[in-house]
């Protein structure tokens, strides 16, 4: 605060490095020197105290209690002591309110004002001497703390103490909140336990949806994020828009079976699920109704229900008209121009025909996430009869237009301030991957977004294992070793008495321990399966610029591919966004490109193909349509999460002789005109270069 007071001087400047005031005898004492002494003392004390406490740290009391009523959150803050600018300052109890929805910083406002003898007469000199009695002296700087939320008051400096999100208090640290101790604990926790784990609670569960939003609840709990302790004393709700990535399907054919009854409802199961929007459905219907002959003989009558597929019969009383002789079907019209028999102009005749009926989503029955039911009979408005029944025809195709929701896996994370963040994954038709928790965040769980009844929540975050549970795990391991020892004894007995099993050898395909160690095994075992081995050759390919894959590398050039044959397909969808939409940038510095930029390799000293085969990504995923676990092996995809199975046959430690040597191409560009390159060093070693 800048003090504006008449005849007040304070010349303290920490940049000058003045250590002490050296008062000399005979020189008058200046009021500015006394003010400098106070400022120097405050500066030194604040510099030491800020190492221990942060502004807004609770030293005693100062509890915060929230209660939500409707759309209003009532916040009741108790009195206590809070550290502000080098001092423990008292604050009085206060109750205030703000909106229940949203995130609010609750803290204290520091109001400062200058008080003189005009404001407080008690500041006048109480000396009994008549020369100075009731004369004005030094003014006072008054500092008062008031509870409130950020933005409540227009004056005063605000210091955040608590965070209230959707009416729930988060991130409360019990007093005293000593920052130096907290930093030491955080540093130790990061070094010993990693600093990112859930100590207790923080279970995510899904609640009933609210409108177009998914609603989730995270229970109370304790966690450490980056070593910082996060405490939530109450469960917290958070929402996520229920908006999936859709993929459209056009003209999906489903035949109406020939065993169906004419006009019977038919249930369809679509190829992809869950169905999100049904655009339309086309079926073939048969209808019979009366129609009025036109006023002129030899002309055509336009049928009302179009498009017409087949004209089955035209009759009038006992007369049946013959196609091509009496009439022909031409562009949804009955053309009477052939010159045969025809009804009299203005008379009524009966017509039976089949036409294509297009149904909207509201016309369908029993819509589920996997399909719907086509009504067998519908009433349509005619021009002669008010309503006629159109019946679904067996042994005809049904074409459907719809959009289905691609599965996606989202990750629920928590920041080091206790805020809940949902990181959206990438929607894929098969095997969607859960994104990693961003740097500085703790992964709590994942949301399996199948957009239907099979959607689920998995609380798979890293959790602290208590000592009693570790003790039980240790006991179970000891029991497991005992069982393995007994099994080996039984296996040894079986091997000695092979005739006891009548010459039958059984391998459960759990690992390679029952295979002949002296014979090369090219059929690998993993996941309980004996499968074909995969031999790999890694090629390092560097492209100078963006390139297009030649389709001929995927197709034998000797095979002739027809114009309508598909030999290369990319069914995935990409999107784009502008990185800098406002074109706000500064000149970029020079750029150094290495090709390859990174080098990863794995060396195997083995004659078996099992370890190599297991390096390829194998993911078990839940099929959203059949709800069955499916296993897929994808040898061209890249994933950031891997699983490895370790079989302990023997261990031998040797020193790594040298790293793999590869050629690395350096390309330096982006330098301005006149900039000369004197030397290029990689890891301190000079490398040759050529200017272009």
Annotate 28-91 with three-state secondary structure.
CCCHHHHHHHHHHHHHHHHHHHHHHCCCCEEEEECCEEEEEECCEEEEEECCEEEEECCEEEEE
Residue written as token pair 């190492």: 51
Strand ranges inside 450-547, DSSP E: 456-458, 525-526, 529-530
Residues 215 and 100 in one domain: no
Contact 580, 586 (CB under 8 A): no
- Report which of 388, 321, 309 is spatially closest to residue 354, judged by C-alpha positions: 309
Residue 77 lies in a domain: yes
- Report which of 579, 558, 593, 553 is spatially closest to residue 680, judged by C-alpha positions: 593
Residue 504 lies in a domain: no
Residues 169 and 215 in one domain: no
Structure tokens at 296: 């002129």
Contact 213, 101 (CB under 8 A): no
pLDDT for 126 equals 85
The alpha carbon of 450 is separated from its chain's Cα centroid by a whole number of angstroms, namely 13
pLDDT for 657 equals 60
CA distances to 41, 172, 459, 647 from 203, in Å: 50, 19, 6, 34
Residues 297 and 445 in one domain: no
Q: 482: part of which helix (H) or strand (E)?
A: helix 467-496
Report, as ranges of residue numbers, the positions in the chain whose pLDDT lies below 70: 1, 171-172, 382-387, 492-506, 538-544, 547-570, 584-588, 602-658
* φ, ψ (nearest 5 deg) of residue 145: -100, 140
The 10 Å Cβ neighbour count of residue 586 is: 5
How many Å apart are CA 2 and CA 535, to the nearest integer? 76
DSSP state of 327: B
Residues 280 and 392 in one domain: yes
How many Å apart are CA 266 and CA 375, to the nearest integer? 7
Q: Which residues pair with 267 in a beta bridge?
A: 373
Q: Which residues pair with 397 in a beta bridge?
A: 255
pLDDT for 387 equals 65
Residue 550 lies in a domain: yes
What proportions of the chain, in percent to the nearest 5, are helix, strand and coil? 15, 35, 50
Write down the pTM of the prediction: 0.60
How many Å apart are CA 590 and CA 668, to the nearest integer? 7
Residue written as token pair 């250590």: 19
State the Cα angle at 624 between 619 and 627, rounded to 5°: 85
Contact 81, 57 (CB under 8 A): no
Residue 273 lies in a domain: yes
Structure tokens at 673: 């005109």
Q: 181: part of which helix (H) or strand (E)?
A: helix 179-193
User: Domain boundary at 405, 421, 440, which?
Assistant: 405
Q: Which residues pair with 249 in a beta bridge?
A: 402
How many Å apart are CA 186 and CA 182, to the nearest integer? 6
Residues 550 and 625 in one domain: yes
**What is the count of structural domains for the chain?**
6
Residue 523 lies in a domain: no
Residues 358 and 223 in one domain: no
Residue 474 lies in a domain: yes
The dihedral sign for the CA sequence 411, 417, 418, 419 = negative
- Report which of 101, 420, 416 is spatially closest to residue 240, judged by C-alpha positions: 420
Residues 659 and 622 in one domain: yes
- Report which of 406, 386, 424, 117 is spatially closest to residue 249, judged by C-alpha positions: 406
CA distances to 82, 89, 228, 488 from 60, in Å: 7, 10, 20, 64
Residues 381 and 447 in one domain: no
Residues 448 and 594 in one domain: no
State the Cα angle at 354 between 352 and 356, rounded to 5°: 145
Residue 525 lies in a domain: no
pLDDT for 670 equals 79
DSSP-derived 3-state class of residue 654:
coil
Plot region of 62 (φ>0 → left; ψ -120 to 50 → alpha; else → beta): left
How many Å apart are CA 394 and CA 9, to the nearest integer? 101
The 10 Å Cβ neighbour count of residue 595 is: 14
How many Å apart are CA 328 and CA 325, to the nearest integer? 8
Residues 225 and 268 in one domain: no
The whole domain housing 662 covers: 539-568+587-692
Residues 162 and 44 in one domain: no
**Cβ-based neighbours of 204, under 8 Å, separated by 6 or more:** 216, 217, 218, 219, 412, 444, 445, 447, 457, 459
Residue 511 lies in a domain: no
CA distances to 283, 315, 358, 457, 635 from 355, in Å: 8, 18, 10, 48, 49
Residues 394 and 417 in one domain: no
């Amino acid at each position: 605060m800048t003090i504006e007071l008449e005849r007040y001087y304070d010349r303290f400047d920490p940049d000058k490095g003045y250590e002490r005031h050296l008062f000399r005898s005979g020189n008058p004492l200046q009021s500015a020197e006394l003010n400098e002494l106070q400022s120097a003392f405050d500066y030194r004390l604040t510099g030491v105290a800020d190492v221990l406490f942060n502004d807004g740290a609770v030293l005693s009391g100062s509890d915060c209690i929230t209660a939500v009523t409707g759309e209003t959150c009532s916040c009741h803050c108790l009195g206590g002591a809070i550290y502000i600018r080098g001092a423990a300052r008292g604050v009085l109890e206060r109750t205030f309110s703000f909106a229940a929805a949203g995130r609010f910083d609750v803290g204290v406002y520091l109001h400062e004002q200058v008080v003189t003898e005009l404001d407080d007469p008690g500041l006048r000199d109480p000396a009994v001497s008549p020369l100075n009695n009731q004369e004005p002296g030094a003014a006072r700087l008054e500092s008062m703390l008031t509870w409130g939320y950020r933005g409540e008051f227009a004056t005063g400096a605000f210091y955040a103490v608590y965070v209230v999100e959707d009416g729930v208090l988060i991130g409360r640290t019990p007093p005293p909140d000593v920052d130096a101790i907290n930093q030491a604990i955080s540093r130790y926790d990061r070094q010993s336990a990693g600093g990112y784990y859930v100590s207790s609670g923080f279970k995510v569960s899904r609640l009933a949806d609210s409108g177009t939003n998914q609603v989730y609840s995270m229970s109370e709990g304790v966690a450490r994020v980056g070593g910082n302790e996060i405490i939530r004393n109450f469960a917290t709700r958070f929402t996520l828009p229920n908006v999936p990535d859709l993929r459209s399907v056009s003209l999906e054919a489903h035949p109406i079976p020939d065993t169906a009854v004419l006009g019977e409802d038919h249930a369809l199961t679509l190829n992809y699920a869950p169905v999100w929007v049904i655009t339309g459905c086309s079926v073939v219907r048969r209808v019979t109704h009366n129609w009025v002959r036109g006023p002129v003989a030899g002309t055509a009558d336009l049928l009302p229900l179009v498009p017409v597929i087949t004209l089955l019969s035209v009759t009038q009383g006992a007369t049946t008209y013959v196609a091509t002789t009496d009439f022909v079907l031409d562009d949804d019209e009955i053309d009477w121009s052939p010159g045969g028999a025809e009804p009299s102009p203005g008379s009524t005749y009966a017509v039976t025909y089949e036409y294509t009926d297009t149904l909207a989503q509201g016309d369908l029955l029993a819509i589920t996430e996997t399909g719907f039911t086509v009504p067998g009979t519908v009433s349509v408005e005619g021009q002669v009869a008010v309503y006629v029944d159109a019946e679904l025809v067996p042994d005809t195709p049904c074409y459907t237009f719809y959009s289905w929701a691609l599965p996606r896996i989202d990750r629920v994370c928590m920041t080091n301030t206790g805020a809940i963040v949902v990181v959206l994954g990438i929607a894929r038709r098969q095997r969607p991957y859960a994104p990693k928790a961003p740097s500085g965040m703790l992964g709590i769980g994942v949301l399996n977004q199948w957009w239907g009844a099979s959607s689920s929540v998995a609380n798979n975050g890293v959790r602290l294992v208590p000592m009693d549970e570790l003790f039980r795990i240790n006991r179970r391991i000891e029991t497991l070793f005992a069982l393995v020892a007994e099994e080996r004894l039984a296996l040894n007995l079986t091997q000695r008495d092979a005739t006891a099993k009548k010459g039958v050898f059984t391998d459960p395909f759990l690992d390679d321990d029952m295979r002949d160690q002296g014979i090369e095994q090219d059929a690998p075992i993993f996941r309980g399966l004996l499968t074909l081995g995969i031999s790999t050759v890694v090629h390092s390919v560097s492209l100078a610029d963006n390139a297009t894959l030649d389709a001929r590398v995927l197709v034998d050039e000797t095979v002739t591919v027809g114009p309508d044959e598909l030999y290369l397909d990319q069914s995935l969808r990409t999107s784009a966004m502008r990185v800098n939409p406002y074109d706000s940038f500064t000149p970029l510095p020079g750029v150094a490109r290495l090709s390859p930029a990174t080098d990863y390799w794995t060396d195997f000293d083995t004659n078996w193909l099992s370890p190599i085969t297991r390096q390829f990504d194998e993911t078990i995923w839940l099929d959203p349509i059949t709800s069955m676990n499916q296993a897929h092996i994808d040898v061209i995809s890249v994933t950031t999460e891997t699983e490895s199975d370790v079989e302990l046959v023997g261990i031998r430690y040797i020193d790594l002789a040298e790293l793999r040597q590869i050629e690395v191409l350096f390309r330096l560009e982006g330098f301005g005109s006149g900039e000369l390159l004197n030397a290029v060093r990689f890891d301190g070693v000079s490398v040759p270069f050529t200017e272009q």
